[in-house]
Each structure stands twice: as structure tokens, then as C-alpha cells.
Amino acid sequence: MFGVWAPGEEVAKLAYYGLYALQHRGQESAGIAASDGERIAVYKDMGLVSQVFDETTLNTLTGHLAVGHCRYSTTGGSHWANAQPTLGATPHGTVALAHNGNLTNSAELYDNLIDKSGFPSRGEMAQGNTTDTALVTALLAEHPHGSLEDAAMQLLPQLVGSFCLAFMDEHTLYAARDPQGIRPLVLGRLDRGWVVASETAALDIVGASLVREIEPGEFVAIDEHGLRSQRFAETRRAACVFEYVYLARPDTTINGRSVYESRVEMGRRLAREHRVEADLVMPTPESGTPAAIGYAEESGIPFGNGLVKNAYVGRTFIQPSDTIRQLGIRLKLNPLKSVVAGKRLVVIDDSIVRGNTQRALIRMLREAGAAEIHVRISSPPIKWPCFYGIDFASRAELIANGLGVEEIRASLGADSLGYISEDGMVSATRQERAELCTACFSGTYPTRLPDADKLGKNVFEARTPVDSSPRREPGGPSVAQRPEHASAVSIDTRPSSDDGLSRRAAGRTRISDQDPGVQEGSTGCDPGPDSDLEDLLLPEDRVPAGPGTPSAAQPATQPETAKDA
């Protein structure tokens, strides 16, 4: 997400470029809201930032402040009604809100809202939005306080889980970060304004200088009077270690530590922990490259590129035909036969989720003539789901759940397999272990988790009244209809507005092995590791290789029940 307050600047275009820099964090939908002091207008649609916006559209989003978002769904399905920023009419004006993260007490907050006020009769929840973002927007609108700022200070302490919020009314830009600081959020300075963004790389793109991180438990407001800050909770830092491993851009800095340097150091430590005789160290593009550089430096084995990535094949809404699918992932990755033939390879990747894409890559490298393939992973085995903003597969789909390293190696078809230790990964980040969330590796969560029926991507669909939306898909959740010719939604904030909303064209917890909250059939981890190759895998890559190898979808042994922290 990206927020900007800059009178005299083209704020929508700044938001566009900021989102472009953050596209890796979400590829499902994109949106920008802008205010000219009297009206907030938002334009949002399904697709990438470059697909949603053009110059004509951006020129209609005028004003002195803007909030933008590119979505990756963790609560609520992937459809237009759930795109962000969300809009809500409050007693004192309008709020447009963007959210990075995932609340774990959404069901409790939802039930409290219904008990207090009934299901909303207007706003995005009434029109089928089933996200925790729309819930926060509705809760802000329900607060009978003197200002949006007062309402936020009352509401923020009630939110549990991971949340970085960038929101605004007609005049002021606001930002808040959860007390654990699970996801990154930074503050930047323009010549004529301020910027908040999910990563420092977005500041670089728009020419903003980094001022500092927005602290965990901090709420900031920016308007013509400058910047003011308040604390709404005590800090209990538990930053996501997976940001250093994979999620963040390598040119981002988190809590003073370069993500690129962290990944290179993970590769060095991986080489110390899992040495092997080989001829070439090669990465899985692009996420494995920094760690592969570190592994090559430490081991003395030459670094090289054994796979070529098609830079122009990104995420697409055109499904591959059976003929194209038979080409497998060669549409996006193709082996360099002259480089890998006859070589003993060390293949570096950042993580293994289900193992499907690694299995496909190993098959491709074998076909290209590789003599040996030694897989090295710059993170420990992923054994637990994430409830803080990464839609990892269910525990049953995680290949490391119930399988040992040797069994995983056999499933992938590699000659050897080595994971970095948790100590090695944490040390590479140069962060205090006590200030990192390692839940997906350790099963120890930094906040309390509710019962299984109150977690999951579709938690609101099960609670939404059947008649709460103008249209309901057969057998599915309530969804709002997309405007016929555009995705523009405007809110007239003048007193004459009737309902305020119109459409126009223009504490640490450990969980059990019951896998709470993960939906059956989950595709998992989009935009996490493996996600952009999943739609191009062959059937044989989706099941473990080799006769008698236990299925990754049905572990050979039942996982141990997690102990209380």
C-alpha cells in the first residue's frame, strides 16, 4: 500500500508509481483513492497496476492526497467487490482505507458489529465486500467520536493480528502499524509533502527520502499542520522473518537491515551448514539469486545462471491450453543446456512450500543433461500456516509437514537437499530473535489465535446474511456488481449527500495440528514462493515423484500436537 499527502503534486501518479514498485506484494487487483478536499474518488479493478490504470484514468484522480493498494487476498475472495481501497461514509466525512496484513480477530469484531448495529445497510460490506479491510472501514464509521482520528485511536487497540493501514478523509492522511510490527511500513519525505509505503523501495521510485519506520503501535496523521504521532499500544515487536527471506524486494531496507544483504548472508551460512562437491551454483530466478551469490562466495564454487526467465511473462488471466501446458514451466523458465549439461549443480531456492515447482525444475534440469542436482534452501522447512498476511497452503499441503528432509529429497528427485537452520536464518537478518515472527517455521505465533471456525479466508462468507447484498452468486458469497463501463466509485462528501455512497461511470500462541482456518482446496501462497509457476505445472509435478514416496498432500505420519508456548 502507498499513501501520499502532497499539495501541488500529481498525487495519483505518485501513488501509481509507488504501487508499481510494490506490485510484487499483490497482483490480484489495484486501486487508488484521491481527494480534492471536497470529494474522494477511487478507481479500482482486477489486475496488475499497469492493467488497471492509464494516463486518462489517473488524470481524473485529482487532489492533494491519495491512498493506493495492490491486493493479495488473505481474507475474502478474489473478486472486484473486495478490491481496495475501501470507501465508507462516516458521521464526519468519508474514509478511504488500504490495508496490508491480516486480522486474526475479524470474526469477533464482525460479531460485535452485528450485535451492536446489525448488518450494515450501506457501505462496502452491504454491497458484498467480505474483507477485514471493509470491516475496519465499517467500524470506523460506527464510532460516534468527534473525528476520524478519535475513532481510529479507539478502534486500533481492538485489532489483533497483522495490520499496516494507510487511510484518509478529505483532508488528512493517516497511517497505523500493529503493535508487533509484523509487516513493514515506512515514512518518507517529499519536497512538498509526505509519503507512507509498505517498503522503502517505493520511496526510492517516487524520489522520497526515508525519514524512519512507522513504529509498531504507532498512529500518525499528516495534514496542512504537519505530522503528528500517537501511540495506541505498547510495542511487542515480532517482525515477519519471511520478509527477509522472500516477500520484500531485495532493494528494500527493513529495521535498518538491507534485505539483499540478509539474503546473501543466508546463502553464506547455508554453504557453511551444507557443503557439497559441485561444479556450479545456480539460483532459481529471481528469488534465489542473492542467496546463490552468497553460497558461491562462501563455497568457492562458480556462480552461474542455469535457467533463463522470460521477463515478459508475468501473471496472466489467460489460462494455458492443454498444448501450452505440456510445455510445462518452460513458458517462464527454460534451462541453458550448454551451462548445465554434465555439471554437478547446486540449485538455490528461498523456500519449499508444496514442492511442486522444485520437482518440475529438477525434471527440466535432468532433461537438460545435469549430472547431479543438489538443492539448497535459504529458509528452514515451512511446517505451519501463516495468519498474518501470507496465504500459505494448509498444513496438509505443506510438504515439510510429516516428511523428513530425506523423504522430501526423494519426492523432489534431487541428489541431496539441505535447509538452512533457523539460527542461521535469524542471524543473517541481524535482528533479535525475540523480535521476529518465525511462526511458519516454528509454530509459535506472536498473537492469540481464535478457534478454527473463526479463522480462514472465507470467515465472513459464512456469517454474511443471505439478503445483505443486491446480488448473490448461486452457492457463493454476496458480491457487488462491477460498474458497467468503469471501476470508478465516488463519494460526495458534501452535506446534501444522502447515504454517501454511489456508483458512477468515471501474546505468543502455539496452534495444534488441526490446521485452523485454512480452506479445503486452497491454492496457497500467492504471491509467495512457487505461485507464478503453479498454473503451468504438468500433472506429474503435482504429486511426489518416485514409487512409494509418501504424498505431500497426505503426510506419511501424523504431525505431533504442538505444545503450548
Q: Which residues pair with 32 in a beta bridge?
A: 43, 68
The pLDDT assigned to 169 comes to 94
- Listed range (1-10, 32-41, 326-335, 552-561) with the worst mean pLDDT: 552-561
377-386, 494-503, 543-552: which is most confident: 377-386
pLDDT level of residue 534 (50, 70, 90 thresholds): low
Q: Is the pLDDT of residue 478 over 70?
A: no
Q: Is the pLDDT of residue 356 over 80?
A: yes
- Listed range (41-45, 114-118, 257-261, 333-337) with the worst mean pLDDT: 114-118
Q: Which residues pair with 395 in a beta bridge?
A: none
The pLDDT assigned to 305 comes to 94
Please, are residues 91 and 146 in contact by the beta-carbon 8 Å criterion? no
Helix (H) or strand (E) holding 287: none
14-32 average pLDDT score: 95
* CA gap 412, 394 in Å, rounded: 19
How large a percentage of the chain has pLDDT more than 90?
A: 60
Fold of 253-445: Rossmann fold (3.40.50)
357-383 average pLDDT score: 95
Nearest alpha carbon to residue 59 among 41, 86, 79, 85: 41
pLDDT level of residue 81 (50, 70, 90 thresholds): confident
70 is in an annotated binding site: no
* CA gap 489, 83 in Å, rounded: 11
437 is in an annotated binding site: yes
350 is in an annotated binding site: yes
* CA gap 145, 143 in Å, rounded: 6
Please, are residues 149 and 206 in contact by the beta-carbon 8 Å criterion? no
Q: Which residues pair with 99 in a beta bridge?
A: 165
The pLDDT assigned to 298 comes to 98
pLDDT in tens, 398-413: 999 889 999 999 999 9
Per the prediction, the chain carries an average pLDDT of 82
386 is in an annotated binding site: yes
The residues spanned by each domain of the chain are 2-238, 253-445
Nearest alpha carbon to residue 454 among 111, 44, 196: 111
Domains 2-238 and 253-445 fall in the same CATH topology: no
pLDDT level of residue 564 (50, 70, 90 thresholds): very low
Please give the sequence-ordered ranges of beta strands (E in DSSP) within 378-454, or none if there are none. 416-419, 436-437, 444-445
440 is in an annotated binding site: yes
pLDDT in tens, 276-292: 999 999 999 888 999 99
Q: Which CATH architecture has domain 2-238?
A: 4-Layer Sandwich (3.60)
5-12 average pLDDT score: 96
349 is in an annotated binding site: yes
pLDDT in tens, 182-220: 999 999 999 999 999 999 999 999 999 999 999 999 999
pLDDT level of residue 74 (50, 70, 90 thresholds): confident
- What's the burial of 82, exposed, middle or buried (CB within 10 Å: 0-12/13-18/19+)? buried
pLDDT level of residue 489 (50, 70, 90 thresholds): low
* CA gap 161, 176 in Å, rounded: 13
Please give the distance of CA 172 from its chain centroid, rounded to a whole number.
Answer: 26
